[in-house]
Amino acid sequence: MAKVIVMDHPLIQHKIGFIRNKTTGTKTFRETVSEIAMLICYEATRDLQLSDVEIETPVAPAVVKQLKGKKLAIVPILRAGLGMVDGMLTLIPAAKVGHIGLYRDPETLKPVEYFCKLPADVSQREIFVVDPMLATGGSSIAAIDMLKQHGCRHIHFLCIIAAPEGVKAFTEAHPDVDLYIGALDDHLNDHGYIVPGLGDAGDRIFGTK
Ligand code: PRP
Ligand code: URA
């Protein structure tokens, strides 16, 4: 069974409070989502493997730690996941970026696929899938199904806000995928929105409403 980690860092909680506020405008919302993504990335990369490397400091020889060189990839779920990419790349700038396009049908709440472009060697990479919202879980489950069909085996999922219903569906569908959550909310409403949540993440990042 993989890990389900809900962030308890005060900076993350403070910044999530900021983006929940309906008076927070597009520019601040987008910048803060990026900052939160960077902070969650810090936690989600905690288990990356290190190796020893011999170097010389200006004073003496030393053995230092270096990331073992496993290749990484960030995969945002379009659109809203794009808002997390820059924050992730701030910490892991050498990662490749793949894109999966899914939207949630407003009637059925089921994900509809419209785009998939992944690094050619994606199956060799450790993958960090990002999407601010885990609501019913349909979109994130479908995105990870697609990655597994491409041969990916080492997958983590990072979101900013999750509903308990989505966490249950996600962990049942993908018990091998670590799940990093900025804040775990109360429930989904009748329209599949997270309560209290932050509204439509894509619309708030891109200013489309
Ligand atoms: C939102 C969000 C997730 C999905 C979560 O995307 O960014 O991808 O809904 O809901 P689920 O867990 O019930 O699938 P949306 O479909 O609104 O598309 P957008 O990012 O293009 O706005
Ligand atoms: N997608 C969003 O953007 N917000 C929600 O609350 C649920 C799904």
Per-residue pLDDT band at 1 (split at 50, 70, 90): confident
Instruction: Name the catalytic one among 108, 145, 153, 176.
Output: 108
Q: Measuring from atom 7 of ligand 2, which residue has the nearest CA?
A: 193
pLDDT at position 78 over 80: yes
Q: How far is the CA of 2 from the centre of ligand 2 (A)?
A: 24
Annotation marks residue 105 as catalytic: no
Pocket mutation for ligand 2, best pick of 193, 195, 209 (most atoms within 8 Å of C-beta): 193
What share of the chain has pLDDT > 90, as a percent? 94
Q: What gap in Å lies between CA 122 and CA 124, rounded to an integer? A: 5
Amino acid identity of residue 35, one-letter, is E
**Are the C-beta atoms of 40 and 12 separated by less than 8 Å?**
yes
Q: What gap in Å lies between CA 51 and CA 202, rounded to an integer? A: 39
Mean per-residue pLDDT for 29-43? 98
pTM, entire model: 0.96
pLDDT at 209 (0 to 100): 85
Instruction: Name the catalytic one among 30, 104, 125, 204.
Output: 104
